[in-house]
Amino acid sequence: MDMPLSLPRLTAALALCWASLGWSATLPPDLVWETNGNDTTFADPAAIPGGVFTTFMTSFPLTFRNYGPDANGGFAAFLRDGRLPLLASHPVSGKPIPMIASQWAFGSDHKTMYFRINPKATWSDGEPITADDFLFTLKMLRGKEIGDPWYNNYYSTQIVDVTKFDDRTLSITSGTEKSREDLLDSLPFSPEPSHAITLTPDWVKKTNWTVLPVSGAYRISEVKKGKSITFSKVKNWWGQNERYFQHRFNVDQVRVLVLRDINIAWQHFLRGDIDTFTMVIPAWWHDKSKTAEFRQGYIERTWLYNQTPQSPMGLYLNNDDPLLGNIHVRTGIHYALNVDKMLNQLLRGDYQRLNSYGSGQGLFTNTDLRARPFDPKLARAEFAKAGFDRPGPDGILRNAAGTPLTLTVTYTTGERTQRLTLLREEAKKAGLGIELNLMDASAGFKAMREKKHQSAWMAWSGSRYPAYWEFFHKVNAHQSQTNNIMNIDDETMTALVERYDKEFDYARKAELSRQIQARLYELASFVPAYQVPYTREGAWRWVRLPKVPGTPQSDTLYWPLDGASSGYSYGGLFWIDPRVKEETRTAIKEGRAFEPVTRVDETYRLDK
């Protein structure tokens, strides 16, 4: 027998139906509408529009979908940053700034935000962005058709309602009371183009390579399977003259080449086939840049200190693995990894040891925690508690059944092989064997999301405030296509995460964050590795930047899109100078040199 809807559920259902039919709800009369047209702009008015920017990726994406299987790979940043959210944060002040929405207001229930969509906002195919797109997106992300349980859960429990008041006015409601900071961080999501999507049972397969309209400045215009993807500037893009978009997104095209070997990509860069190259890795900055192209000033180097939240970079241990289900084995692995030697010997002391699950998030970071040091004696003591107390002929510990203590580490970047090799050799001193498993970026991340790894050397992207539910809650353990790649299924952790998500008071929420990080330390499922509070990059001299080359939130200098998927709008600041490009090409032909250039910008350095 069908159960009747309770009155609150019936009201919510009717509101959603009315909104879908175009019937308008009534706005609260006491709303105080806000906007932000007073913060400083951070782009350069001297930027020159036009030109083609060429960059690269190490593997071709497995899908163009934003959701569903394989949608969370390395190319996802390009796709997500093509879809602007309602609001983002200013990269210097941290205050909210308009994106798709031009105004916003907070409800008295501490759950709801109201938005007015910029009347200029359109999709790249010319269709207007309306409240119906947000209603559709909520329905889509709750639907089983997308094959994405994380989004299904989040958009059912964390975002519980979208209400349409008219075509350009809507509200979004959280599942729990939150501070204004939390509401700004969690509610202003990016819409999907409702006019271009039809949800069907075979949606995942049918739309794997579908190119959808976007709200941002660039759309995919050409695809060469396995070779390259080209983005083109949207003609007459609606946001071009908006305050915080002015003098940004300057190039006409962004070409992303597929170069599966980083060293081959470097050769392409030295030939000028690629415009820029990330040089955070010490060997690239200190050694590989000692070439004629740098000495003769054709390629310039820039080092920008930033204040970005630091990613939780380290070793993720899969607790569902029979070996790693034992906490003594996990704890012993912490003591068996000589991370400090790796940092000092291979990374020139340029990187800093990470002590917890990320850093740079203010009171939300537990600064009392200290990473367990390399200590073979303590490691062996922990391993012995798990039964691995006798060395084999190769020095690797074994248990009574003769099973060796061996850990397989999956990783996706060849540059990390040398670092992991050092850790492998040092771990032998503690009786731990390590096998390295280098995989293609897309395939490796797919394996991690499908929980087919024993351990993974990787990092999730950082955010202004930590997100824990997707990584640590037990509902996301023991199943494919979730981000709980450690398979943490711990009642204490789950209770803390649920309290964290529901906490309204900012200070108490920060305290819960510190407790969550402390509990993760106790579980020993994550070995923190390092943090890098800067970016370093090389660029051909025709790729220009503002005088202050980036913002406090610029984790890369030459990101062509907005960056708002990180929470901050910071990208698209560079431009191509055609005069300088011609000058450089001529100088190369004639054998003329320029002064070599290395810029170090400490405008936003915190420890100076």
**Same domain as 412, residue 464:** yes
**Same domain as 521, residue 473:** yes
Give the model confidence (pLDDT) of 458-517 as tens digits.
Answer: 999 877 889 999 999 999 999 998 999 999 999 999 999 999 988 888 899 999 999 999
Residue 419: pLDDT above 60? yes
Domain at 134, CATH number? 3.90.76.10
**Same domain as 107, residue 27:** yes
Residue 255: HSE in the Cβ half-sphere, 13 Å Cα cutoff: 13
The token pair at 290 is 């000692």
Residue 6: pLDDT above 90? no
Query: Which residue among 186, 206, 226 closes a domain?
Result: 206
Q: Grade residue 1 by pLDDT with cuts at 50, 70 and 90.
A: very low
Q: Grade residue 78 by pLDDT with cuts at 50, 70 and 90.
A: very high
pLDDT of 362 reads 82
Report d(CA 132, CA 164) in Å as an integer. 7
**Same domain as 152, residue 15:** yes
Q: Grade residue 608 by pLDDT with cuts at 50, 70 and 90.
A: low
**Same domain as 227, residue 201:** no
**Same domain as 408, residue 264:** no
Whether residue 47 is contained in a domain is answered as no
Contact between residue 516 and residue 497 where contact means Cβ atoms under 8 Å apart: yes
The token pair at 102 is 């031009």
Q: Specify the residue for token string 């207001």.
A: 105
Contact between residue 455 and residue 444 where contact means Cβ atoms under 8 Å apart: no
Residue 18: pLDDT above 90? no
**Same domain as 441, residue 563:** no
Task: State the DSSP code for 245.
Answer: G
Give the model confidence (pLDDT) of 304-347 as tens digits.
Answer: 999 998 999 999 999 999 999 999 999 999 999 999 999 999 99
Report d(CA 571, CA 555) in Å as an integer. 9
DSSP for 480-495 reads: SSSS-TT----HHHHH
Domain that holds residue 566: 218-301+536-597
Torsion of CA 552, 554, 556, 557, to 10 degrees: -90
The token pair at 16 is 């959603």
Query: Which residue among 142, 176, 206 closes a domain?
Result: 206
Report d(CA 56, CA 277) in Å as an integer. 9
pLDDT of 10 reads 35
Task: State the DSSP code for 372.
Answer: P
Domain at 230, CATH number? 3.40.190.10
**Same domain as 377, residue 326:** yes
Whether residue 384 is contained in a domain is answered as yes
Q: Specify the residue for token string 């809807």.
A: 5
**Same domain as 562, residue 523:** no
Average pLDDT on 94-122 reads 98
Of the listed ranges 39-43, 72-76, 349-353, the least confidently predicted one is 72-76
Q: Could you give the percent of the chain with pLDDT greater than 90?
A: 88
Whether residue 511 is contained in a domain is answered as yes
Average pLDDT on 69-89 reads 94
Domain at 425, CATH number? 3.10.105.10
pLDDT of 16 reads 42
Strands annotated E in 420-513: 433-438, 455-458
Side chain identity at 368, as an amino acid letter? D
Number of domains in the chain: 3
Report d(CA 38, CA 28) in Å as an integer. 27
**Same domain as 509, residue 523:** yes
Give the model confidence (pLDDT) of 544-576 as tens digits.
Answer: 999 999 999 999 999 999 999 989 999 999 999
Query: Which residue among 476, 506, 531 closes a domain?
Result: 531
Whether residue 357 is contained in a domain is answered as yes
Whether residue 55 is contained in a domain is answered as no
Q: Grade residue 418 by pLDDT with cuts at 50, 70 and 90.
A: very high
**Same domain as 238, residue 180:** no
Whether residue 64 is contained in a domain is answered as no
pLDDT of 25 reads 86
**Same domain as 432, residue 322:** yes
Whether residue 58 is contained in a domain is answered as no
Whether residue 224 is contained in a domain is answered as yes
* Average model confidence (pLDDT) across the chain: 94
